[in-house]
């Protein structure tokens, strides 16, 4: 049959983030799936090298808007390991509480997005309404709804008061009820089961071979969870199960995430019950001694890895980030093999992709000549001005016009 190549993105109404996919179709069937990362490259790793460790906490937090605590905790764990800091137990517990609240908010968000992608917008509306409960809790504890800024080198910045603990427990009760309801929907609503079963199959062996992480791997019955495999923060002292499923498809990924929500509520109750007394920070040096370390952290989407190299100054020499989506995106090609084009949005959404986190590099290629090269900031700037000027757009003039209009209004 005649082959058709469809480019999806980087600017596409169905995508939440700019990323380019190339789908080779035969009729409705997907023969080949290619992706090109790099449209969201922001140069965060390089920027880390020019900032102090304290400033980098806030910078790494902004790698991702949803798993922001994951990235900053992962970074800080590596820094604390190099500096040899003994973080107080209370601080570790508070970090874990925020981490689990973040997982709850991320999984509820995913449930809504998945509902939206399969056309079940009712589920999307209700799960996002319930997500507000946990967002408000995060605002109360940390002072922000997103980008919590709770971490600092050697501990956390804010304590959890007994009143706040009570508020969290109350929120957990509400959310547990709601999650039980969603579990019922996921297992009993025919349309959901029929739409998701057998879609995006990733076998157990393929999940291991392609290095899938997080709920994507666990839905293929791979018991891979950094919280259990290499316990950090307070996870070593908690009693929780690693949720796995044998469905191997998008339906399995839904069950795993809903199951993980229930485990998170359990964990938060344990954490608040056993919250140790004591200080929440330990004095940390501004200059971190030379050394290198790797931070591992189970973000809501999977294992997050940060490599930090220190050189004895107050700025790191190198920071490398491996976001969970980079590990999972390889598996998407396998999941899409011989599937229909209509399954593409939900299969991509099922790994809970975050392309901004993933983009660590942009390669600029001359389309005609095929030559590759590097461009400095100044070159890029002049290049962009020239590019627009060739097309008759003058930004300086447009700016002047705009400000003249603003002045005229007053």
Partner 1 sequence: MIRPGKMIQQVLSSIFKKPATTRYPYVKASMPGHFRGKIKFNPEKCIGCMMCMRDCPSKAITIKKVGDKKFEAEFDLGRCIYCAQCVDSCLKKALEYTNEFELASLDRKKLKVTFHAEPDKGPETKA
> Which residues contribute to the site for partner 1 (CB under 8 A)?
51-52, 54-55, 58-59, 62, 122-123, 126, 129, 132, 136, 139-140, 143-144, 147, 149, 152, 157-158, 181, 184-185, 188-191, 193, 406
- Of 56 and 264, the one with the shorter C-beta distance to partner 1 is 56
Residue 231 DSSP one-character state:
-
Closest approach, Cβ 94 to partner 1, in A, equals: 14
**Minimum Å distance from CB 187 to partner 1?**
8
**C-alpha–C-alpha distance, residues 298 and 214, integer Å:** 7
Nearer to partner 1, 152 or 244 (CB): 152
Side by side, which strands form the sheet with 291-299?
Answer: 291-299, 302-310, 316-322
Q: Closer to partner 1 by CB, 164 or 311: give it.
A: 164
Of 59 and 78, the one with the shorter C-beta distance to partner 1 is 59
In the complex, least distance from residue 129 CB atom to partner 1, rounded to whole angstroms: 5
- Residue 129 or 166 having the CB closest to partner 1: 129
Which residue pairs from 32-39 have beta carbons closer than 8 angstroms and sit at least 24 positions apart in sequence? Answer: 33/332, 33/333, 33/336, 33/337, 34/333, 35/329, 35/332, 35/333, 37/326, 37/329, 37/355, 37/358, 37/359, 37/361, 38/359, 38/361, 38/362, 38/363, 39/9, 39/10, 39/355, 39/359, 39/362
Output the smallest distance, CB 392 to partner 1, in A. Answer: 27
8 Å CB contact between 88 and 281 = yes
For the CB of residue 372, give the shortest distance to partner 1 in the complex, in Å: 33
Question: Per-residue b/e over 227-261, b at no fewer than 16 CB within 10 Å?
Answer: beeeebbbbeebebebbbbebbbbbbbbbbbbbbb
- The minimum distance between CB 366 and partner 1, in angstroms, equals 35
- Nearest CB to partner 1, comparing residues 157 and 228: 157
């Amino acid at each position: 049959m005649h082959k058709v190549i469809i480019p999806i993105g980087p600017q596409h109404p169905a995508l939440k983030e700019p990323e380019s996919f190339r789908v080779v179709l035969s009729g409705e069937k997907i023969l080949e799936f290619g992706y090109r990362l790099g449209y969201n490259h922001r140069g965060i790793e390089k920027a880390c090298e020019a900032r102090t460790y304290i400033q980098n906490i806030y910078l790494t937090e902004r790698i991702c808007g949803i798993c922001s605590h994951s990235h900053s905790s992962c970074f800080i764990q590596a820094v604390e390991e190099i500096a040899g800091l003994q973080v107080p137990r209370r601080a570790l517990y508070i970090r874990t509480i925020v981490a689990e609240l973040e997982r709850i908010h991320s999984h509820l968000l995913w449930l809504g997005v998945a509902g939206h992608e399969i056309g079940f917008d009712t589920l999307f509306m209700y799960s996002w309404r319930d997500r507000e409960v946990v967002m408000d809790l995060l605002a109360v504890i940390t002072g922000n709804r997103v980008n919590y800024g709770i971490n600092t080198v050697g501990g956390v910045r804010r304590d959890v008061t007994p009143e706040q603990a009570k508020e969290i427990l109350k929120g957990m009760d509400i959310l547990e009820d709601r999650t039980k309801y969603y579990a019922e929907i996921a297992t009993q609503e025919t349309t959901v089961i029929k739409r998701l079963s057998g879609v995006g199959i990733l076998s157990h062996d393929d999940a291991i071979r392609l290095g899938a992480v997080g709920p994507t791997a666990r839905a293929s019955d791979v018991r891979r969870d950094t919280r259990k495999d290499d316990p950090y923060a307070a996870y070593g002292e908690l009693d929780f199960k690693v949720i796995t499923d044998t469905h191997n498809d998008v339906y399995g990924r839904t069950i795993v995430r809903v199951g993980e929500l229930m485990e998170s509520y359990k964990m938060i109750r344990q954490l608040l019950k056993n919250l140790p007394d004591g200080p929440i920070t330990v004095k940390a040096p501004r200059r971190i001694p030379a050394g290198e370390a790797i931070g591992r952290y189970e973000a809501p989407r999977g294992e997050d890895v940060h490599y930090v190299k220190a050189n004895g100054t107050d700025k790191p020499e190198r920071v490398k980030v491996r976001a969970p989506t980079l590990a999972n995106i390889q598996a998407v090609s396998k999941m899409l093999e011989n599937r229909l084009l209509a399954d593409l949005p939900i299969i991509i959404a099922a790994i809970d992709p975050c392309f901004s986190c993933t983009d660590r590099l942009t390669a600029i290629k001359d389309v005609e000549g095929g030559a590759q090269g590097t461009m400095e900031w100044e070159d890029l700037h002049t290049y962009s001005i020239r590019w627009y000027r060739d097309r008759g757009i003058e930004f300086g003039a447009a700016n002047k016009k705009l400000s003249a209009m603003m002045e005229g209004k007053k």
